[in-house]
Amino acid sequence: MKLPLLLLLTSAIACNGQNNKLSMNSNNPLLCDVQTGLCEMPGNEQKTPVSPKPVRIIYFTDPICSSCWGIEPALRRLKLEYGEVVEIEYHMGGLLPSWDVYNSGNISKPSDVAHHWDEVSLHYDMPIDGDVWLEDPLPSSYPPSVAFKAAQLQDGQKAIQFLRRIREMVFLEKKNITKWEHLEHAAKQVGLNVEQFKADYEGRAQTLFQEDLNLARSLNVRSFPTLIFSDAEEQKLVLKGVRPYEHFEQTLLALFPQAMKNVYDNRPEVLFQHYPTLTTREFEVLAGVSKEQAKKTLQQMQEKGMLKVYHTKNGALWIR
């Protein structure tokens, strides 16, 4: 049964709104609303090619979007269960051009982000260490966004791995991912040709990033994450913010009811073959176990030498 379009569209949740704990601020993209799960920019549809798979998702994101980090468990599960019928296109949204542009409201300087990131980490149950904004703050999210486009020019799957790696760097390791040394290291780690990566970063990727910004503008995308689901007839449904996995699944099935769920092997060692790094929350969602059981299993795997663990003050990353 198709979900009411209005329900799906009104599930869009804005990062410029905060509850009592996190105050209102409609002009700051880094104040990501933990209740609604969006990082929003202050502020005509464009026809796009049809995916060879029945459902296409245009995903607008940003390397430093904490709410985008918050949907990783659901997005990874969606790929395992419905990867045969869903094609996901990653586009950069340009969350933080510079602090000269975004300098108002409750977040007016990098240090204001630190406590906010610690708060959203607890809310999403995903490890984020906001101290990067105190120790080595980022001036913009544009350099890592351009770097992602450079990675895409070489290999789409490696580009997604690259995006994951630089997010781990900034959210967990407190690295300023606008610096070339970190981008270069991440490129090496995921197997990109670094010389080509650098040439594209300084050249073609700049144009591709601007095309992503133009596409977001044409589709009136001003908050992240935004996922636009479309079918072969170009019917569209929009999902925004950090939502339960069921919302992702229901949106997909509303467009393509005949989609068959893949019953994947959720044994821990197999999950780490799909995804070499998992947070505790991600493992919990993918394995279908309680948080307590997830921690127990992961700790046992570490004790057996199957995993390494990277601890932060707000959670851990488990590494195959």
**pLDDT at res. 101:** 81
3-state class of 116 per DSSP? helix
CATH code that applies to domain 268-319: 1.10.10.10
Upper half-sphere CA count for residue 38 (Cβ side, 13 Å): 27
* Residue (of 1, 125, 12, 128) closest to 74 by Cα position: 125
Q: What is the pLDDT of residue 37?
A: 76
User: 87 exposed, middle or buried (CB, 10 Å; 0-12, 13-18, 19+)?
Assistant: middle
Q: What local confidence, expressed as pLDDT, does residue 38 receive?
A: 78
What pLDDT was estimated at residue 284?
A: 98
Side chain identity at residue 85, one-letter code: V
How does pLDDT run along the chain (320 residues), one tens digit per residue? 444 443 343 333 334 333 333 333 444 656 777 777 778 765 544 444 545 899 999 999 999 999 999 999 999 999 999 999 999 999 999 999 999 887 545 778 899 999 999 999 999 999 999 999 999 999 999 999 999 999 999 999 999 999 999 999 999 999 999 999 999 999 999 999 999 999 999 999 999 999 999 999 999 999 999 999 999 999 999 999 999 999 999 999 999 999 999 999 999 999 999 999 999 999 999 999 999 999 999 999 999 999 999 999 999 999 99
Which amino acid belongs to residue 31? L
Per-residue model confidence (pLDDT) at position 173: 98
Give pLDDT, residue 42.
58
Give me the pLDDT at residue 220, please.
Answer: 96
The reported pTM is 0.87
Task: Supply the pLDDT for residue 33.
Answer: 74
Pairwise CA distance, residues 160 & 130, whole Å: 23
Cβ atoms of 277 and 161 within 8 Å: the answer is no
The ranges assigned to domains in the chain are: 5-255, 268-319
The pLDDT score that the predictor gives to residue 9 is: 38
| Cα–Cα distance, 221 to 218 (Å, whole number) | 8
Fold designation for 5-255 = Glutaredoxin (3.40.30)
- Asked if 227 and 59 count as a contact pair (C-beta separation under 8 A), the reply is yes
